[in-house]
């Protein structure tokens, strides 16, 4: 029985790592799926340590794709401090990422408890998935009517702040972080691939910061319990990193020629299905 339970825990870690990696970067909300999938299957909630590790797995996937970009941006940003100049495009991008990360950081600190309660309510995740569907469809409509012009190098201070506000809204389960930030970027005239690239770059500080905030709680855990969880942590981390890498590459290629309507329809159907199932279960 112990071996069967161990294999089940590894399988569960694989599934949740896959859900995190794929749905974090495709505009379908990883937070929503991590609420909905265990609820549908009847699994218990994963540990705080596991959640932190799989989020750092997706951070690794961003670094695998955009590692050179981050080195260039960070170097240029540090030079801009001594030079007191934002003439370098990469320096501006670095400061825009810092500015864009501020709203989600502040909202996460101030609304920590209410947000945690939402993560235990599948009906909220279903409702917010429908909101994500509307955002994706709306941004596509605006893109087709207003056109796409800007690249990441042409990003403005106002645009970066508005995209950052969208990332803060996406702290709620079911509202896709990548979907919302890409939708707002498209609505402001950024090209598809540029919108996706900036969304991924903007996500890295949030993933890293969220992990740091949870370190205190992780250190308070029983060391023996954490050590016992090590195999599932490794499976979740590797799965989320690999699947996240594939998801990023796929979405960047997909958006060159395709719209977000497919993801909008998916979010709407899943959101409505969850709301209907929840209503039927608790009649």
* Chain centroid to CA 198: 13
Cα separations (Å) of 264 from 11, 131, 162?
A: 29, 9, 21
Give the pair of three-digit tokens for residue 163: 């995209």
Neighbours of 157 (CB within 10 A): 13
User: Residue 5, exposed/middle/buried by CB under 10 A (0-12, 13-18, 19+)?
Assistant: exposed
235, 10 Cβ separation under 8 angstroms:
yes
How far apart (Å, rounded) are the C-alpha atoms in residues 33 and 22?
10
DSSP H helices in 84-121:
89-110, 112-118
Which pLDDT tens digit goes with each residue over 59-74? Answer: 999 999 999 999 999 9
Quote the pLDDT of residue 55: 87
- For 258-272, the DSSP string reads --SHHHHHHHHHHHH
Quote the pLDDT of residue 227: 73
What are the two backbone dihedrals, phi and then psi, of residue 12, each rounded to the nearest 5 degrees? -60, -45
Give the pair of three-digit tokens for residue 125: 């995740």
Secondary structure class of 120 (helix, strand, coil): coil
Domain boundaries, the chain: 2-281
> Sign of the CA dihedral 181, 184, 190, 191?
positive
Which pLDDT tens digit goes with each residue over 222-244? Answer: 666 667 788 999 999 999 999 99
What are the two backbone dihedrals, phi and then psi, of residue 169, each rounded to the nearest 5 degrees? -60, -35
Residuewise pLDDT in 10s, the chain (283 residues): 678 888 999 999 999 999 999 999 999 999 899 999 999 999 987 777 788 889 899 999 999 999 999 999 999 999 999 998 888 999 999 999 999 999 999 998 898 888 888 888 899 999 999 999 999 999 988 887 766 678 888 899 999 999 999 999 999 999 999 999 999 999 888 988 899 999 999 999 988 887 777 766 666 666 666 677 889 999 999 999 999 999 999 999 999 889 999 999 999 999 999 999 988 876 5
27, 181 Cβ separation under 8 angstroms:
no
β-pair partners for 150:
190
């Amino acid at each position: 029985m112990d071996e069967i339970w161990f294999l089940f825990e590894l399988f569960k870690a694989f599934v949740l790592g896959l859900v995190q990696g794929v749905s974090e970067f495709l505009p379908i909300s990883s937070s929503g799926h991590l609420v909905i999938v265990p609820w549908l299957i009847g699994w218990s909630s994963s540990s705080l340590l596991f959640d932190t590790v799989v989020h750092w797995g997706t951070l690794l996937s961003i670094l695998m794709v955009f590692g050179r970009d981050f080195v260039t941006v960070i170097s240029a940003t540090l030079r801009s401090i001594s030079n007191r100049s934002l003439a370098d495009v990469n320096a501006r991008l670095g400061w825009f990422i810092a500015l864009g990360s501020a709203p989600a950081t502040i909202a996460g600190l101030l609304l920590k408890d209410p947000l945690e309660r939402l993560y235990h309510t599948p009906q909220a995740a279903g409702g917010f998935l429908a909101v994500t569907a509307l955002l994706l469809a709306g941004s596509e409509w605006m893109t087709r009517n207003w056109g796409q012009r800007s690249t990441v190098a042409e990003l403005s201070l106002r645009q970066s702040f508005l995209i950052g506000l969208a990332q803060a809204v996406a702290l709620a389960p079911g509202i896709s972080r990548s979907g919302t930030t890409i939708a707002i970027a498209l609505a402001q005239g950024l090209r598809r691939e540029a919108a996706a690239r900036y969304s991924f770059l903007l996500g890295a500080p949030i993933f890293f910061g969220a992990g740091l905030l949870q370190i205190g709680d992780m250190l308070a855990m029983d060391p023996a319990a954490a050590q016992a969880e090590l195999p599932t942590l490794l499976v979740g981390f590797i799965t989320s990193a690999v699947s996240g890498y594939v998801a990023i590459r796929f979405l960047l290629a997909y958006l060159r020629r395709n719209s977000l309507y497919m993801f909008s329809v998916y979010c709407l159907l899943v959101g409505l299905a969850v709301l209907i199932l929840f209503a039927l279960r608790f009649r």
